[in-house]
Amino acid sequence: MPLMRSWVASANTATTDFPLNNLPCGVFSTEGEEPRCGVAIGDMILDLMAAEEAGLVAPAADPVFDVPFWNEFMELGPAAWGPFRERLVELLDEGSLHRQAVEPFLVPMAHAELHLPILISEYTDFYAGKNHAFNVGSMFRGPENALPPNWLSIPIGYNARASSVVVSGSPVRRPWGQLKPADAELPHFAPCRRFDFELEMGAIVGRASEGMVGVAEADEMIFGYVLLNDWSARDIQGWEYQPLGPFQAKATATTISPWIVTRAALEPFRVPTPERERPLLPYLEEPGPMLYDIDLTASLRPEGGEEAVLTRTNYREMYYSAAQQLCHHTTSGCPMNVGDLLGSGTISGAAKESRGSLLELSWGGKEPLSLPDGATRSFLEDGDTLTLRGHAQGDGFRVGFGECAGKVLPAHKDPVGAGR
């Protein structure tokens, strides 16, 4: 697919994340006004609440963009999603007859504050990247026992905290927790010393379900995708995770990008999942390509320092697609809600420079990374800003997500003497 040209000139460059081919969904506010729904186009945002009031867009009989989240629009389902996208293209296309009517509702992105784009109902995080699972397992159990016995048969996940999901730009405070170094007899309570990021994608469920759904139906339930950083306290995790898995180590924060790139925008970039090393049970078999060719990076900028790319990888490295994860999530009869968020799991490639976390990049702290200013990192330090970026590359254009960034703040002072 070539670049779709818009009368918004900034949408026609090869480097913008937001050409007419994209039209991602977000929530924004301007000074003195309430947050509202918008769509990114180049370096502008189309104010959908105002456009809806003016009768330029009308996806439903009643207003759906007069609230600061996309849940009400998503609830209209795929039958509304497609025509709405077609209407936006009609309004913003280079040859559109509607430019004069639409132009007053464009807001410069530089003047806007971005917010969480949805009300998050529930959040489940998966462990579905094989390279990441193998690397982590090798560190703790050796390569011969790296993958759990069930890993090649089932998308492993855990129920995470929806309440701690934050939008890009929100600071993240270093957590306190129980720590037990290997040479200590007993645990102690202290700030995390091995704070980490995890480079992931998040799938947004746009249609509710009751009972089990198949992989094809699960794919149709996904409204779109975001970048996702699953901040992780590795030392807290190492002490607490047996026997029930992650808990407080993953509850500090999860940062997502402010723009939801719709499944329709990513359609030209579909790719298949990897060849299976063990046959999947029939209910998990995919009817077609369900992953996407999305280039991803994670960068670190020390306070007052220069930003450096830590890793480059691609979403196609996943072993299980979001559709398979969603399908498996429903096998118990678990209802899925509009606004559910599914984290992919850490996306790591086979090469060292494509690993999606500092735990892997520094191999548990044994191989620190060098930064441009001569400093090193095994794990994140206070003042570090971690930024994820991603885009699918088209012919002369890109479909991108914007930034997913967060700055690490120091831990709070000893809470009520808890560290005594």
Residue 365 CB neighbour total at 10 angstroms:
14
Give the alpha-carbon dihedral of 190, 367, 254, 208, to 10 degrees.
-130
Q: How far is Cα 33 from Cα 420, in angstroms, rounded to an integer? A: 46
Q: How far is Cα 20 from Cα 87, in angstroms, rounded to an integer? A: 12
Q: Which of 268, 125, 285 is nearest to 201 (CA)?
A: 125
Point out the catalytic residue in the list 98, 111, 115, 132: 132
Q: Give CA 78 to chain center in angstroms.
A: 21
Residue type, 389: R
Q: How far is Cα 204 from Cα 114, in angstroms, rounded to an integer? A: 18
CA atoms within 13 A on the CB side of 14: 4
Per the CB < 8 A criterion, the answer to whether 381 and 368 are in contact is: no
Q: How far is Cα 214 from Cα 284, in angstroms, rounded to an integer? A: 8
Instruction: Give the residue carrying structure tokens 């009768």.
Output: 55
CA atoms within 13 A on the CB side of 412: 12
Per the CB < 8 A criterion, the answer to whether 193 and 235 are in contact is: yes
Q: How far is Cα 169 from Cα 122, in angstroms, rounded to an integer? A: 22
329 is catalytic: no
Report CA torsion sign: 104, 110, 112, 118.
positive
Q: How far is Cα 41 from Cα 22, in angstroms, rounded to an integer? A: 8
For residue 84, the SS3 value is helix
Q: How far is Cα 34 from Cα 404, in angstroms, rounded to an integer? A: 23
Q: Exposed e or buried b for every residue in 48-68, given b needs 16+ CB within 10 A?
A: bbbbbeeebbebeeeebbebb
Q: Which is it for strands 222-230 and 261-262: parallel, antiparallel or unpaired?
A: antiparallel
Q: How far is Cα 155 from Cα 328, in angstroms, rounded to an integer? A: 7
Per the CB < 8 A criterion, the answer to whether 129 and 151 are in contact is: no
For residue 54, the SS3 value is coil
Would you please indicate which residues are annotated as catalytic (active-site) residues? 132
